Amino acid sequence: MISRRLLRIKALMALYAFNRREDGDLVKAESELVFSITKAYDLYHYLLLLVLEISDVASDRIERALQKRMPTPEDLNPNRRFIDNPVIEQLRNNKSFNKYLNGTKLSWVNFMHIPKILYNNMISWDELEEYMNSEQINYQGHKKFVISLVSKLFSVSEDLVNCLEEQSIYWNDDLEYVLLMIEKTLKKFKSGSGEETELMPLYKNRDDEEFVKLLFRKAVLSSAQSSELIDNNTTNWEVDRIALMDTLVMQLAIAEVLEFPEIPVKVTLNEYIEIAKYYCTPKSSTFVNGILDNIFREMREKGLLRKYGRGLIGESVNSKLND
């Protein structure tokens, strides 16, 4: 499922796009937000498919070697451990995976240079040599290798990153989070049952789906009030120099802390500080931290923060009594 961190990032990108819209159409903006999240789910399946494509490249190399006019002993007796990997075969036959692919046009057919590049990267990889030459290997060993292939080789491939960015603007920020989804998915595979393993759903639950939609909508509708809070907690010199993305990050954080009483203030603050580190200027996270901390402190003193359940974590005894 799409993580809350990625959902917040999607909401931030949608808020940025909305601020650049000339029509101010909130309904269309919300539809684009949902579409961008769906594209992340496409990427999840697309990268799982890439694992199969790399296996197919390896199989093709073995078949071509066997067709040589004068094959070497190694050509005639290839090491088939990777192409016969049981986890990859389970994925290839996985019902949930194939059902999703059959309903989409996801394919690497026009980008076959990517599985070939990744295959070439893999064959010079120390972990492949260890995997292929181990005297004995069990199901967990096969699974460990596939997880390493995805989490280590995919994540550092500039060719893959560039290819994904060319295919969809919605995938620019998704790779890191989607690779974690794939790692969690593969860990659930078990010997003899991988074909039946359910892949991750788009959302963890209905709450997550509602969370991202409401977060975006409230940030848009309360932007004037949020901007006033930000202005009141900055000097005139700072107001003139606040970058748009800094403002949008803080608007989202303010919307979240007010609209989601079950989310602790500290969680909200930490999440948007981390997001600011990647999507704002180098010093923004410190600036955003200071401004939001002041705003949340004032809200707490005025009794505007209504938290309950898990949302009370980190709140003082007096704050709880005021609730």
- 257 in the same domain as 189: no
48, burial (CB in 10 Å: exposed 0-12, middle 13-18, buried 19+): buried
Q: What is the largest CA-CA distance in the chain?
A: 85
- 288 in the same domain as 183: no
- 271 in the same domain as 146: no
- 61 in the same domain as 190: yes
Residue 3 and residue 109: Cα distance in Å, rounded? 29
Tell me: the pLDDT tens digits for 59-109?
999 988 888 888 888 878 888 999 999 999 999 999 999 999 999 999 999
- 70 in the same domain as 120: yes
Element (H, E) at 49: helix 26-66
245 assigned to some structural domain: yes
Domain count, the chain: 2
- 164 in the same domain as 103: yes
The dihedral over CA atoms of 217, 223, 225, 230, expressed in degrees to the nearest 10, equals 130
Q: Residue-wise pLDDT tens for the chain (323 aa)?
A: 899 999 999 999 999 999 998 888 999 999 999 999 999 999 999 999 999 999 999 999 998 888 888 888 887 888 899 999 999 999 999 999 999 999 999 999 999 999 999 999 999 999 999 999 998 999 999 999 999 999 999 999 999 999 999 999 999 889 999 999 999 999 999 998 878 889 999 999 999 999 999 999 999 999 999 999 999 998 765 666 788 999 999 999 999 999 999 999 999 999 999 999 999 988 889 999 999 999 999 999 998 888 888 777 777 644 443 44
Per-residue pLDDT, 283 = 86
- 105 in the same domain as 8: yes
- 228 in the same domain as 141: no
Residue 7 and residue 315: Cα distance in Å, rounded? 25
181 assigned to some structural domain: yes
Report which of 110, 56, 113 is spatially closest to residue 88, judged by C-alpha positions.
56
pTM (2 d.p.): 0.90
- 178 in the same domain as 50: yes
- 235 in the same domain as 269: yes
CB 257 within 8 A of CB 296: yes
124 assigned to some structural domain: yes
Print the domain residue range for 257.
222-322
The dihedral over CA atoms of 112, 113, 116, 121, expressed in degrees to the nearest 10, equals -140
Domain CATH code at residue 303 = 1.10.940.10
Tell me: the pLDDT tens digits for 3-41?
999 999 999 999 999 999 888 899 999 999 999 999 999
Residue 178 and residue 320: Cα distance in Å, rounded? 38
- 234 in the same domain as 114: no
Taking residue 319's Cβ as centre, other Cβ atoms within 10 Å add up to 16
- 295 in the same domain as 190: no
Residue 59 and residue 93: Cα distance in Å, rounded? 17
277 assigned to some structural domain: yes
